[in-house]
A and B are shown apart, each in its own frame.
Chain A
């Protein structure tokens, strides 16, 4: 195969994988708990700042993973316990509260790190040769890790007892509680998993994107549009949504400019809202 084509294919794959991993946490929380966590982007931002701190301290980059998981996990637990739990019956208010939380986290990041951009160096430098094309090693690894994380989550959710119980909780919380499933604890755990995935995504993309307090806004919108297009409840939907949103954004951006790409994505989301309000791979 032509090396140029291979490089393009890898780029596309990278775009889809990174968008999917960014949207994954949002999809988990929205799909299973019905909560649209508008602070999702800010949790990605916190994950990225964890990576920045680790690199600034001169520690090995992998230390950022446990750090981000702990910070985002604790934050997720606290947020679920005191902000989201009282509002499970009022989905619209959860949106407003998590939106307020996103402001708060942004202002906190601003107070701690300032408004400026932080750029990180890629922890794994250099390139590898794939079918004749040279490709950055870190991006390739990011694709592999995204696939592994997605695969592991799907396998665990589909096969484990806990996965089945969570399905029961998502389907009918009242009945699940009557059956003795600790719904509160599972809801809390699900939320924490969602925030941890956001943190992990933040660590992964930190070296490739400028890290700054406002970075979350773009990520939450793109992730949300991925879910609008792809629908909730399946990995296929997540990947299709990522491909459609990421693909149209980068193609139109290349043809015109970033604003055009953004406009195109927004338009696409509105069109999907009309034609396929439950996404391409809607769960029946």
Chain B
């Protein structure tokens, strides 16, 4: 905190050291840096790349310019300029909602649509002459009342940059920032913890639009001129280059890139004919070879200086926001077809009492597909599924999860780049954190009786210093199982929880599953191939074959079943 205050003080005093010319230059670059922060947020943090951020910078600049021209000196400007920035944020959020509505479209599609948007914005600004002034832009925009001098304009930009950076730092420490980072690594897993991944991405894009808007709203009074170029491709591209070269994965990387590359460019562009070609080459090299960017140079220094925060006392997490009680799952005649392939063919199951249910069946029987269908990832063409009497059809995955259905994959899919503590925290927030909660950094200290019981069994779960990537395969399996349990779902779907584990680890996992079922009253469904495990675990067994239920009953009933023997060993009927 002391270092941050010193940095801000130095930032504010800088113009007295460098003089008017550089105060003016830096003031402009700080505004670009604010917008570049947003690129870092989207690209470095959340994993999708907006290529048209100029749209939002330009929109706010035009709105702010128009407000300043119409209402020069009026007190209303205190309200209107922030509103101009918010308009950009809102537009970005809405576009995010539209584009991210379908799952899995955050890659190239998003980038291309934002690129197209910036070209569209340029055309609108260029052609709508009566409002925007056309190609020549809005001219003669008055400065902020009373803040006309170069130094004052610099200070306004510096304060805006500092406030924006602190705001983003806050978000990164809050659950929202952790979830953004988790989204970049494994979106599906985030959704299966009951978070609306698409909405979280739209919020990230909205915040980045707001940042661009802050830059734009202050650009108009600072420069006195707003032209269509601001909306178009050029500034959008520069922002991406600065964020990448400065270092997109760190909060301040994009700021460093914008200020350093921006200053060098304004100084050297006219002196070297091939300056911009050089910048493009540097950008390609950074993406290919040095993704950490310039700020990565300071990483070793930071590691040496950085102290680990002392572990803070835990805060008891609130109870889950669902009714509780035993889960009742009813699957009736479900058909699932993907293309030409029938995956589930009239599957019917009923789970009415708590206990451990095992699902067995040959490869391709539809076991994992049944789980995918239950969690809403695989749409059923016919049939009915209800949970506690409530139909699940057409319900989004994250909503199904919030009803109390938890899941563990066959291949452990924790968030490797996040610390073990953050992995655990995401599971604890599942179906507990309200929207507002996601802005509170103290949620990272949440703990629950289940967590404490799990830590007693597996002390490594309380290790805040390591990332999940540093765990062994067995530990990852246990971490993911623990994460599935921490959400305290009433129906827990486990896909081969013991795959690849040693006999000792297997015994531990079985003990935990039993504990979850007996002590917590959860209904557990386990897909398992290993019959010795099934014998040990199952209260009830479902045998799936060719996408429908072949047989069910206790282990001994199943072992005596002729039809089951036939599919496993090919016995004569």
Contacts and interface: CB of A to CB of B under 8 A. Distances in A.
Interface of A: 36, 83, 86-87, 91-93, 95-97, 99-101, 103-104, 107-108, 110-111, 214, 217-218, 221, 224-225, 228, 257-259, 262-263, 265-266, 269-270, 273-274, 277, 284
A270 B281 contact: no
Interface in B290-349: 339-340
Interface in B263-305: 273-274, 276-277, 280-281, 283-284, 287-288
A95 B116 contact: no
A221 B114 CA distance: 11
Interface string B78-117: 0000000000000000000011011001011101110111
Contacts of A101: 280, 284
Given A95-B107, A96-B287, A284-B339, A274 B116 contact: no
A168 B273 CA distance: 47
Residue from A83, A96, A284 having most chain B Cβ neighbours under 10 A? A96
A217 B51 CA distance: 12
Given A214-B233, A225-B116, A265-B116, 9 more contacts: A36-B112, A95-B108, A99-B51, A104-B277, A111-B274, A217-B119, A259-B120, A266-B117, A277-B102
A104 B288 contact: no
Contacts of B99: 270, 273
Q: Which of B237, B273, B284 has the most CB of A within 10 A?
A: B284
A269 B116 contact: yes
Contacts of B123: 258-259, 262
B98 to A, nearest CB: 6
Given A99-B51, A100-B287, A103-B280, A274 B102 contact: yes
Contacts of B241: 100, 103
Contacts of A273: 99, 102, 105, 109, 113
A259 B277 CA distance: 31
Contacts of B101: 274
Contacts of B233: 214, 217
Contacts of B115: 217, 221
Contact of A228 (B109, B117, B244, B276): B109
Contacts of B240: 99
Q: Is the interface of B mostly helix, strand, loop or mixed?
A: helix
Contact of A91 (B107, B237, B277, B287): B107
Interface centre among B109, B127, B233 (most CB of A within 10 A): B109
Interface of B: 47, 49, 51, 98-99, 101-102, 105, 107-109, 111-113, 115-117, 119-120, 123-124, 127, 233, 237, 240-241, 244, 273-274, 276-277, 280-281, 283-284, 287-288, 339-340
15 contacts: A36-B108, A36-B112, A97-B288, A99-B240, A107-B277, A111-B274, A217-B119, A221-B116, A228-B109, A259-B123, A259-B124, A262-B120, A273-B109, A277-B102, A284-B340
A112 B123 CA distance: 27
A257 B126 CA distance: 13
A103 B283 contact: yes
Given A87-B288, A111-B274, A104 B281 contact: yes
B49 A95 contact: yes
A75 to B, nearest CB: 14
A43 to B, nearest CB: 16
Nearest to A282: B339
B284 A93 contact: no
- 8 A-B pairs with the lowest CB-CB distances in the bound complex, closest first: A104-B280, A100-B284, A103-B280, A284-B339, A259-B123, A36-B108, A100-B283, A107-B277
A97 B112 contact: no
